[in-house]
């Protein structure tokens, strides 16, 4: 039972999506409070037929609030999530602030719902690319352990927020009109271009997004040494992430076995029509709850039959962020 | 010495690029004839200050022509290349018609120029994605044999020709204006979307583009059993292909060793600035001769030190097609 739910970062891309999902799923709650930074406070938003004024995020925002979904950046989560917990609120945090904290469960409800039991007030929502990959791989891993993952991503602008989506639109219009393109949100032009994910590169040469995919998957799967490598790339797509995934299993596995497992896996829709060349596409995944999985085939480079290739797409704002958070909320209150 | 050069498919995207490259490189030739299908015959084009009328492709197009670059589709190559050879012409064919013919050399001049010696009138220009990958990998393979390649591509619209590039532009404008998007050249919407390469899928689940990358690389490298797997994807980019490449070498290798080898490799420019997050991008590769290579790092999923990750971009119309053909022409006449 949710008496009083707060959405922190309600005017952002993920916060807005969370409001839409609450409506669509008819998630029951007593009271809803929308919270955002000073800049957006005062905005009025309509959720479930109710006209709500967005409140400014302060230390007093959580009085009487029993659940809060935070999606306002790592800095605000680090500052305000402990305050919310102190006020008796359970926080589902969409930022990376607490994800690798051993005291904080990091949960994809289709994968490790049992980890929810051990929370101390904060539950972390994984990185969007991690969620999209984990929903597709976990059911396979359970039947035949995955020994190595090689993933390359095709990530939408939505991962960098609403302003990044608008930059993709406006920059593309500028490009088509022959006007100069001026990157502001992204460090490089995004219109008709793509670039390595714009997060810092560590000593090992991996960027932060790639490390998240590696470290978070290991934590969610309870496989602390799983061999994973990732290459994360931004593409000029608005809101769904795609991933080309190469897997090595412990034992030989066939594409038909993969299809059989995934056909009954929660949160997965197989889109794999080789006759019409219809496979997962970000436009088709946008607005969908499920992760689309296709191009399922035996990896020709692993002659021992232990290799599988597949291509997946998932709505970054939805299952990659807001929906996963609301699924956690629903699991906590079930 | 080139007495008389013909460009077949002169009005297409690759043919046009070939004309520009002839100008830019001041490749010496006596006479230039531009040839195209009936539909484009009569068009006037300016090359090297000369105003040329495009001739219709017929069985008589090759009288007195000593070299021809074909870029007018596999059907026309199959029909007219043997006729050209019969007329005493050497054909450099950009289509896939003859690439896997054991009698036909398949050449990337930076990789296997020696194969040019054994031609019987036709030399095949490899697939664009193959060329981009091979230029980057070959110098490494020579110093430490590559045992396995896992590649995922991000392929530009230009690979499907000038009409596809125009479709990307016009469809994007339609999308931004809220008009319905109607795919014509591609089977799926390409604006703000991406999709599995639209070529037929074989029994093994690979599409034709992926098989080309596998089979052609094996032929060019003279490694008929090399372990290669590829996932080929179209992205809303105009003219340069990108590839995320995961390599397994015979012996351990470090990113510094890779950089050292590639820093002196022909046709390669390293773009790998981890401090400013500047890596290969299709916009930066467009119009460039070299393949850009970056994100060079030790693959964290291969703890024996034999794994390397890298990201490459190459101009599909240029090194991926027209430039490679003209480099073959130059090597034949050097």
pLDDT in tens, B215-245: 999 999 999 999 999 999 999 999 999 999 9
For residue B304, the chain A residue with the least C-alpha distance is A227
Chain B (176-215) residues lying within 8 Å, Cβ to Cβ, of chain A: 176, 187-189, 192-196, 198-201, 204-207, 214
- Do you know the residue count of chain B? 334
State which residue of chain B sits closest to A228, comparing Cα positions: B301
Instruction: Say if residue B334's pLDDT is above 90.
Output: no
Q: Do B235 and A194 form a contact (C-beta atoms < 8 A)?
A: yes
Of A199, A206, A299, the CB nearest to B300: A206
Write out chain B residues lying below 8 Å of A179, CB-based: none
* Cα distance between residue B308 and residue B154, in whole Å: 19
Using an 8 Å CB-CB cutoff, list chain B residues near A199.
277
Contact yes or no for B154 and A311 at CB 8 A: no
Residue A314 contacts B, CB cutoff 8 Å? no
pLDDT digits (tens, 9 = 90+) for A78-95: 999 999 999 999 999 999
What's the confidence (pLDDT) of residue A334? 86
Region B116-131 average pLDDT? 97
B176 contact residues in A (CB cutoff 8 A): 169, 172-173, 176
Could you say which residues from 150 to 169 on chain A have a Cβ atom under 8 Å away from some Cβ of chain B? Answer: 150, 152, 154, 168-169
Residue in A closest to B197 by C-alpha: A277
The mean pLDDT value of chain B amounts to 97
**pLDDT tens digits, one per residue of A108-129:** 999 999 999 999 999 999 999 9
* Nearest residue in B to A231, CA atom: B244
pLDDT range class, residue B29, cuts 50, 70, 90: very high
What ipTM was estimated for this complex? 0.97
- Taking the CA of residue B297 and the nearest CA in chain A, the distance in Å comes to 5
pLDDT per residue over A291-311, tens digit each?
A: 999 999 999 999 999 999 999
Q: Which residues of A touch B194 (CB under 8 A)?
A: 154, 235, 237, 242, 281-282
Nearest-neighbour CA in chain B from A79: distance (Å) = 28
* Helix H or strand E encompassing A134: helix A128-143
Give me the pLDDT at residue B301, please.
98
B25 DSSP β-pair partners: none
In a 10 Å sphere around its CB, with 0-12 CB exposed, 13-18 middle and 19+ buried, how is residue A49 labelled?
A: exposed
Sites in chain A below the pLDDT cut of 70: none
Instruction: List Cβ neighbours of B60 (8 Å cut-off, separation of 6 or more).
Output: none
Q: How far is A279 from chain B (nearest CA, A)?
A: 7
Question: Cβ contacts (< 8 Å) between B296 and chain A: which residues?
Answer: 205
- What is the set of active-site residues of B? 128, 241
Q: Report the Cα–Cα distance between both ends of chain A, in Å, rounded.
A: 7
Rounded CA-CA distance B295/B277 in Å is 9
Most B CBs within 10 A among A239, A301, A302, A313, hence the mutation to make, goes to: A301
User: What's the pLDDT at A1?
Assistant: 87
Tokens 């929810």 belong to which residue? A116
SS (H, E, C) chain B: CCCEEEEECCCCHHHHHHHHHHHHHCCCCCEEEEEECCCCCCCEEEECCEEEECEECCCCCCCCCCEEEECCCHHHHHHHHHHHHHCCCEEEECCCCCCCCCCCCECCCCCCHHHHHHCCCEEECCCHHHHHHHHHHHHHHHHCCEEEEEEEEEECHHHHCHHHHHHHHHHHHHHHCCCCCCCCCCCCCCCCCCEECCCCECCCCCEHHHHHHHHHHHHHHCCCCCEEEEECEECCCCCEEEEEEEEEECCCCCHHHHHHHHHCCCCEEECCECCCCECCCHHHHCCCCCEEEEEEEECCCCCCCCEEEEEEEEECCHHHHHHHHHHHHHHHHC
Q: Work out the pLDDT band at B1, boundaries 50, 70, 90.
A: confident
Which of B186, B226, B244 should be substituted to probe chain A, the one whose Cβ sees the most A Cβ atoms within 10 Å? Answer: B244
CB contact under 8 A, A196 and B279: yes
The pLDDT of residue B320: 95
How much of chain B exceeds pLDDT 70, in percent?
100
Catalytic residues of A: 128, 241
Q: Which residues of B touch A295 (CB under 8 A)?
A: 196, 205, 231
pLDDT at B294: 98
Q: What pLDDT digit, counting tens, does each position of B130-155 carry? A: 999 999 999 999 999 999 999 999 99
Number of Cβ pairs < 8 A linking chain A and chain B: 174
Pick the residue from chain B with its C-alpha nearest to A165. B192
Q: Which of B192, B233, B246 lies nearest to residue A236, judging by beta carbons?
A: B192
Chain A residues whose beta carbon lies within 8 Å of the beta carbon of residue B154? 154, 194, 233, 235
Helix, coil or strand: residue A182: coil
**B287 touches A at CB < 8 Å:** no
Using CB atoms, which residue from A154, A296, A301 is nearest to B148? A301
Return the DSSP state at A126: P
Query: Residue B158's closest chain A neighbor by CA?
Result: A192
Q: What is the overall mean pLDDT for chain A?
A: 97
Q: Residue B23 has what pLDDT?
A: 96
**Rounded Cα gap, residues B9 and B74, in angstroms:** 11
Interface touch B206/A173, C-beta < 8 Å: no
Is the Cβ pair B301, A169 closer than 8 Å? no
Chain B residues closer than 8 Å to A149 by CB: 301
Q: Which long-range contacts (CB under 8 A, 24 or more apart) does B119-122 make?
A: B119/B90, B120/B85, B121/B84, B121/B85, B121/B89, B121/B90, B121/B91, B122/B81, B122/B85, B122/B90, B122/B91, B122/B93, B122/B98
Nearest to A231 among B228, B276, B295 (CB): B295
Report, as an integer, the average pLDDT of B280-287: 98
Kindly list the residues from chain B whose CB atom is less than 8 angstroms away from the CB atom of residue A227.
300-303
């Amino acid at each position: 039972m949710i008496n009083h739910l707060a959405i922190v970062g309600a005017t952002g891309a993920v916060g807005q999506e969370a409001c839409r999902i609450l409506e669509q799923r008819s998630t029951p709650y007593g009271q809803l409070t929308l919270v955002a930074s000073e800049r957006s406070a005062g905005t009025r938003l309509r959720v479930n037929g109710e006209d709500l004024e967005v409140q400014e995020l302060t230390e007093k925002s959580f009085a009487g609030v029993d659940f809060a979904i935070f999606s306002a950046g790592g800095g605000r989560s680090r500052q305000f999530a402990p305050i919310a917990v102190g006020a008796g609120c359970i926080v589902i945090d969409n930022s990376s602030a607490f994800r690798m904290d051993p005291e904080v469960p990091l949960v994809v409800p289709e994968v490790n719902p049992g980890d929810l039991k051990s929370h101390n007030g904060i539950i972390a929502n994984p990185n969007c690319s991690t969620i999209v990959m984990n929903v597709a791989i976990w059911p396979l891993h359970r039947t035949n352990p995955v020994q190595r993952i090689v993933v390359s991503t095709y990530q939408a602008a939505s991962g960098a927020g609403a302003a990044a989506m608008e930059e993709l639109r406006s920059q593309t219009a500028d490009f088509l009109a022959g006007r100069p393109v001026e990157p502001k949100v992204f460090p490089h032009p995004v219109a008709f271009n793509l670039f390595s994910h714009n997060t810092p590169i560590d000593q090992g040469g991996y960027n932060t997004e790639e490390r998240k995919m590696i470290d978070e998957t290991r934590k969610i799967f309870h496989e602390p040494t799983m061999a994973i490598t990732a290459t994360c790339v931004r593409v000029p797509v608005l809101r769904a992430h795609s991933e080309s995934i190469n897997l090595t299993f412990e034992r030989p596995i066939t594409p038909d076995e993969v299809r059989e497992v995934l056909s009954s896996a929660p949160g997965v829709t197989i889109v794999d029509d080789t006759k019409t060349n219809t496979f997962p596409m970000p436009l088709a995944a946008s607005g969908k709850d499920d992760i689309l999985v296709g191009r399922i085939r035996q990896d020709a480079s692993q002659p021992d039959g232990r290799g599988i290739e597949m291509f997946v797409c998932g709505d970054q704002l939805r299952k990659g962020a807001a929906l996963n958070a609301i699924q956690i909320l629903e699991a906590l209150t079930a």
